[in-house]
Amino acid sequence: MDYSSLISPALGILVGVLMGLTGAGGGILSVPLLVFFLGLSIAEAAPIALCAVALASTIGAILGLKNKILRYKAAGFMAIFGLALSPLGLWLAPQIPNAPLQILFSFILLYVAIRLLSQARNQINGIPDEKRKPPPCLINPAIGKLQWTLPCARALMLAGSIAGFLSGLLGVGGGFIIVPALTRYTDLPIKSIVATSLGVLAIITGGGAIFSAASGSLNILVAAPFALAALGGLLIGQLLGKKLSGSYTQLIFSIFTLAIAMSLLIKGVLSLNL
């Protein structure tokens, strides 16, 4: 029996639990875990990670629609540009040597880990968020919908494009781009931001997974059990999350992400010297 048939679902459960505890943040660890434990390259692991993120984010987006907190127009607008650039990332990934891709991924992980670490520290110490100027995308209180302006459209277009490109190139969902962008450029409540982000991710990663399967770059024998196990782990993580402190969970996750980032960076740098 291929050992990956056992390791793949085990990794999927771990990623799913992290996603459930941190709100989709665990999806960014899919690729490095697949690289470390299955010996895959970034280009091989990215389509597999996309499948897991696509499945989990789709479920989350459906729940967001059901609860009427998903801003589907904003999600669709961002996803259009993300879908346009996701195939470019998927095409480019195999053209770049694996070591530079690992180093790039490790820097993105470092950025995410440091940002989460700072947020968790502020929450634990009771430090309020910094005041900011009014964002370009504001909710019209009369109708309860976003007011579309050129600066608003430009900001959401840029965020969706970057998320789509990185999704295809590195197999990351792009939530670490979309959530901060929606937080910075809109005045939506956090629940609506998370649901809208999941809607964007569902479309971008779903399209990326389909493109990968059509181009023959998706290992379905590894991807299917990994994605299904991640969905099961997501449900477990959500149950655990109700009993654990969010700020301390985020602190632990950020430290774990920081360790993975450093390991991936060292692995990539050592590969350059071979």
Report pLDDT for 191: 78
Cβ atoms < 10 Å from Cβ of 35: 26
Q: What is the pLDDT of residues 29-47, one digit of tens each?
A: 888 888 888 888 888 888 8
Report pLDDT for 81: 94
DSSP tag of 273? T
Backbone Cα Rg of the chain? 18
**Token pair in block for residue 73:** 């127009």
Q: What are residue 146's DSSP bridge partners? A: 139
For residue 125, name the pLDDT band (cuts at 50, 70, 90).
Answer: confident
Has residue 258 got a pLDDT over 80? Answer: yes
**Helices 190-215 and 42-66 sit at what angle, rounded to 10 degrees?**
140
Q: Is 56 exposed, middle or buried (0-12, 13-18, 19+ CB in 10 A)?
A: buried
Question: What are the backbone angles phi and psi of residue 146, rounded to the nearest 5°?
Answer: -70, 140
Report pLDDT for 4: 57
The SS3 of residue 24 is coil
Q: For the chain, give the percent of residues with pLDDT over 90.
A: 11
Report pLDDT for 122: 78
Q: Is 69 exposed, middle or buried (0-12, 13-18, 19+ CB in 10 A)?
A: middle
DSSP tag of 183? H
Report pLDDT for 273: 62
Report pLDDT for 153: 93
Report pLDDT for 177: 82
Q: What mean pLDDT is predicted for residues 198-216?
A: 87
Would you say 41 and 213 are in contact if contact means Cβ atoms under 8 Å apart? no
Q: What is the pLDDT of residues 59-109, one digit of tens each?
A: 888 888 888 888 989 999 999 999 999 889 888 888 888 888 888 888 888
Q: How far is it, in rounded angstroms, from Cα 145 to Cα 74?
A: 10
Cα 83 to Cα 30, 61, 157, 165, distances in angstroms: 20, 17, 11, 8
Has residue 1 got a pLDDT over 70? Answer: no
Output the CA torsion 168→172→174→176 (10° steps): -150
Q: What is the pLDDT of residues 143-172, one digit of tens each?
A: 778 888 899 999 999 999 998 998 888 877
Q: Is 157 exposed, middle or buried (0-12, 13-18, 19+ CB in 10 A)?
A: middle
The SS3 of residue 186 is strand
Report pLDDT for 154: 93
Report pLDDT for 78: 94
**Token pair in block for residue 235:** 């449900």
Report pLDDT for 150: 92
What's the start-to-end Cα distance of the chain, in Å?
32
Question: What are the backbone angles phi and psi of residue 70, rounded to the nearest 5°?
Answer: -90, 125
Strand ranges (DSSP E) for the chain?
A: 139-140, 145-146
Has residue 118 got a pLDDT over 80? Answer: yes
Q: What is the pTM of this model?
A: 0.80
Q: What mean pLDDT is predicted for residues 229-233?
A: 87
Cβ atoms < 10 Å from Cβ of 123: 16
Q: Whole-number mean pLDDT of the chain?
A: 83
Report pLDDT for 25: 57
* Per-position b or e across 247-270, b if 16+ CB within 10 A of its CB: eebbbebbeebbebbeebbebbee
For residue 208, name the pLDDT band (cuts at 50, 70, 90).
Answer: confident
Q: Where is pLDDT greater, at 123 or 8?
A: 8
Q: What mean pLDDT is predicted for residues 231-242?
A: 78
